[in-house]
Amino acid sequence: MDRLSGLDASFLYLETPAQLMHVCAVMVLDPATMTTAYSFAAMQREIEIRVRDVPGFTRKVRGVPLGLDHPVWVRDRDFDIERHVHRLALPTPGGYAELMDLCAHLASLPLDRSRPLWEMWVIEGYRPDGAEGGGGEKVVVFAKMHHATVDGVSGSNLISHLCSLEPDAPPLVPENAPHPRDPGRGELLGRAVIGTATRPVTLVKVLKPSAQLVTRSIGRARRGTAMAAPFSAPRTSFNGTITSHRSIAVTDLDLDEIRRIKKVTATTVNDVVLAICGGALRAYLHERDELPDSSLLATVPVSVRDTSRRATGANKVSALFTKLGTDLEDPLERLRMLAERNRHAKEHHNAISADALQDWAEFAAPRTFGLAVRTYANLRLAERHPVVHNLVISNVPGPPIPLYFMGARIDALCPLGPVFHGAGLNVTVMSNAGQMHVGAIACRESMPDTDALVRHFPAELARLTAAVDASGSPAAAR
């Protein structure tokens, strides 16, 4: 029996008709590299061959009687690839705007919990703006997986089952994990009762290190070395109650240029990415006369997969808070500020147990948690208390070489995370083959034109490059 961890299950409890907890990806494929001519039927058939023995693709959620414990994964013995891989065609003219509108609509649809929690939409007829005739047509795969199933790293690993290093090569990762067993109702109920009875003991074990953490955090705050505090963010137009409607935009950045800036300024790739995000958000809000005097605050998920003691669970993440320097006009000053604050934030974060978030998530009661989330949304409480954070920014490492999906070269792989009540914008970046792919998703009512934000990312990289080169650094001159 494969029980969901508390953190995995929390993403199920957090979901409402407006707050959808799936993660998405926009994959732009070049079918010209395929060894045989593209056809949807052949692609669907090949996907079925590769996923049918992979538990991550063929398991579904089964609830515990009376909601006494977190759900379990069981094998879907009626698995049908036609329920998961679908075919669509873009309307004329089939350009970027039409693609983003369609992807936003698909992202607004919930996944069916009676089946494995993923689906792919194969979108034909995409003509990147500027392509002439049919020769430049691409195939786009819009993929959705529930956050209860994957985090950034495990999602990349799962997608690797469908990718290869050459058009005709086998998938990257073989699957050896057994399929989850389907327990009887009595076994589920018995385990749930035992788990409920031992919960007070577990709570005692968690309380002591948490109390010590609070004491140490207060000391860091007094010394000025603590990470930014939640509930200290200024309110913007995308910080309120969200709807189920989404808007999406994507772009690419030159990864080599980001790495050059990192080297010249003695910072990190993540510092540079956050500085670009801060500059793009500043420009976006300034255009709308909405720029607050204080800096925006971002939640940055951090993988703890290498340090976690837990052997199970799809989500092994923690998070830190960071100010984005949107109150600073100079891009180089913003980068230096972020590098210093991120250094403190990482030190603060490293002092926290890698499993702290997962430990506390075990106490999320299925019925109570879900009711609380729905009440929070219905009363629009996100608009009545101080803003916890403005947005989520994720940086997912990807492969440094080109990948092929069913033989088609992946020209772009743009990930998209969930948005929340109170933080209706998510920016996720992923490196791949010399490019940094950027995906932004927002509540459409809060940010109708996400492209108005995303178009500032390449411009901010150019501004930062110019500022670094003008700084007089010998390394920059070289």
Task: Specify which residues 321 forms β-bridges with.
Answer: 299
Residues 157 and 248 in one domain: no
What's the pLDDT at 7?
87
The pLDDT value recorded for residue 412 is 93
Specify the pLDDT at position 475. 46
Residues 229-273 pLDDT 10s: 899 999 999 999 999 999 999 999 999 999 999 999 999 999 999
Secondary structure tally for the chain: helices H, strands E: 15, 16
Please tell me whether residues 163 and 250 are part of one structural domain: no
For 73, the enclosing helix (H) or strand (E) is strand 72-75
Q: Specify if 199 maps to a domain.
A: no
| pLDDT over threshold 60, residue 126 | yes
Burial of 254 (0-12, 13-18, 19+ CB in 10 A): middle
The model's confidence at residue 104, banded by pLDDT at 50, 70 and 90, is very high
CA atoms within 13 A on the CB side of 113: 17
Please name the residues in contact with 430: beta carbons below 8 A apart, sequence gap of 6 or more.
395, 396, 397, 398, 413, 414, 415, 436, 437, 439
Query: Nearest-CA neighbor of 77 among 58, 51, 62?
Result: 58
Q: Is residue 407 part of a domain?
A: no
Residues 185 and 303 in one domain: no
CB 322 within 8 A of CB 270: no
- Beta bridge mates, 124: 89
Which residue, 366, 394, 467, is CA-closest to 72?
Answer: 366
Going by the DSSP 8-state scheme, the letter that residue 410 receives in this structure is: E
Active-site option among 22, 147, 161, 348: 147
State the pLDDT at residue 40: 97
Q: Can you read off the two tokens belonging to residue 292? A: 């607050």
- Across 347-466, the runs of DSSP E, i.e. the strands, are 391-396, 404-405, 408-416, 425-432, 435-443
Residue 147 among the catalytic residues = yes
For residue 233, the 8-state DSSP code is B
Work out the angle between the directed axes of helices 331-350 and 199-223 (0-180°, nearest 10): 140
CATH of the domain at 17: 3.30.559.10
Average pLDDT, integer, range 400-416: 92
What domain count does the chain have?
A: 2
Residue 418 tokens, joined? 């969930």
Q: Within this chain, do residues 185 and 302 fall inside the same structural domain, yes or no?
A: no
Q: Encoding tokens for residue 44?
A: 């669907």
Radius of gyration of the chain (CA): 23
Q: Which two tokens stand for residue 39?
A: 């056809």
Cis peptide, bond prior to residue 474, ω within 30 of zero: no
The H or E element containing residue 213 is helix 199-223
In a domain? residue 217: no
If asked whether residues 465 and 349 sit together in one domain, one would say yes
Q: Which residue has the higher pLDDT, 261 or 220?
A: 261
Please report whether residue 347 resides in a domain: yes
d(CA 355, CA 358): 5
In 3D space, the residue among 61, 2, 14 whose CA is nearest the CA of residue 366 turns out to be 14
What would the pLDDT profile of 351-378 be if each residue is shown by its tens digit? 555 566 666 567 666 777 788 888 999 9
Q: Are 288 and 453 in contact (CB under 8 A)?
A: no
Instruction: Transcribe 31-48 into DSSP letters.
Output: GGG-SS---HHHHHHHHH
HSE value, Cβ hemisphere, 13 Å, CA-based, for 164:
14
Q: At what angle do helices 456-469 and 331-350 cross, to 10 degrees?
A: 100
pLDDT digits (tens, 9 = 90+) for 135-166: 579 999 999 999 999 876 667 777 777 888 88
Among 138, 163, 190, residue at a domain's last position: 190
Asked, for residue 200, whether it belongs to a domain, the answer is no
Is 234 part of a structural domain of the chain?
yes
The conformation of residue 117, written as its DSSP 8-state character, comes to S
Arithmetic mean of pLDDT, 377-392: 94
Are 150 and 262 within one domain?
Answer: no
CA atoms of 411 and 406, how far apart (whole Å): 13
User: Which residue range is the domain that position 464 belongs to?
Assistant: 227-400+417-477
CA atoms of 68 and 3, how far apart (whole Å)? 13
Whether residue 197 is contained in a domain is answered as: no
